[in-house]
Amino acid sequence: MTLPKEGTHTTRVLRALENPSSSVRLRAAMAVGTTPDPDVVGTLVERCAVEPEFPVREALTWALTRHAAAVTVPLLLDEVRSERAQARSQALHTLSKIGDRRAWPVVTPELLADADDEVARSAWRAAVVLVPEGEEHGLAVVLATQLGRGERETQLSLSRALIALGEAMTPVLGAATTDPDPRVRAHALATERLWRDPDAGFECAIEEAKRVVALGGAGPERR
């Protein structure tokens, strides 16, 4: 990318994005978002891949959403294919915030099953935002292959993604409650409970589901 001339406001902002102080980087990202400039989009995307602080990454994402999708989306699609996990994760997160469904083809089954939990979670969130109308059930089938994966935070992300698909996911989730793997069954049951009762805490839902599985049951409706 060609940088603006030396001494311009944009140049100072770009340099600030690499400042050792996270508060300076945060202010710089907010400044770019407040006054969008297509010349800095490439730098914003690149910074997302290496920025260590979550609040600054969120500000970078916000700044990108303030720019035209025609400028940001192509660069983000390239980042989704990056070898760096943070680049993939943050690009997917930003695409979910932009919500341009032209990005849907990049959310592949391989990405939804990415070995990195943060990338997979970002892919799940992006998928339920970008999925074309009528393809929700197919997405639910793919997402269900990840049931039982990871720790509480990862499992809650998947449950929320499945629930966001609405009725299209219920047959898939129902089938998963009889899966041979007890972790899959417990996760499916916990997701069902959250679907029925959105106010139920996931921790309580998963512990109850584990008890049901341990007793050989399949949930209240199936007893």
**DSSP-derived secondary structure for 174-204:** HHHTT-SSHHHHHHHHHHHHHHH-TTS-HHH
In a domain, 114, yes or no: yes
Distance CA 178, CA 190 (A): 13
Same domain, 111 and 211: no
Do 120 and 165 belong to one domain? no
Same domain, 121 and 145: no
Asked whether residue 48 falls in the same domain as residue 68, the answer is yes
Q: Which domain holds residue 55?
A: 9-130
Instruction: Please tell me whether residues 14 and 104 are part of one structural domain.
Output: yes
Digits of tens for pLDDT over the chain (223 positions)?
Answer: 444 444 466 778 889 999 999 999 999 999 999 999 998 999 999 999 999 999 999 999 999 999 999 999 999 999 999 999 999 999 999 999 999 999 999 999 999 999 999 999 999 999 999 999 999 999 999 999 999 999 999 999 999 999 999 999 999 999 999 999 999 999 999 999 888 887 666 566 566 656 666 666 555 444 3
Neighbours of 79 (CB within 10 A): 22
Question: Residue 66's domain is classified under what CATH number?
Answer: 1.25.10.10
- The reply to whether 84 and 174 lie within a common domain is no
User: Where a domain ends, among 130, 162, 177?
Assistant: 130
pLDDT at res. 197: 81
Q: Give the domain-ending residue among 81, 102, 130.
A: 130
Q: Is 14 in contact with 8 (CB distance < 8 Å)?
A: no
Give the count of domains, the chain.
2
Question: Under a CB-based contact definition with an 8 Å cutoff, are residues 111 and 123 in contact?
Answer: yes
Could you tell me if residue 162 is inside a domain?
yes
- Residue 135 lies inside a defined structural domain of this protein: no
29 in any annotated domain: yes
The amino acid present at 37, given as its one-letter code, is D
Q: Is there a domain that residue 3 lies in?
A: no
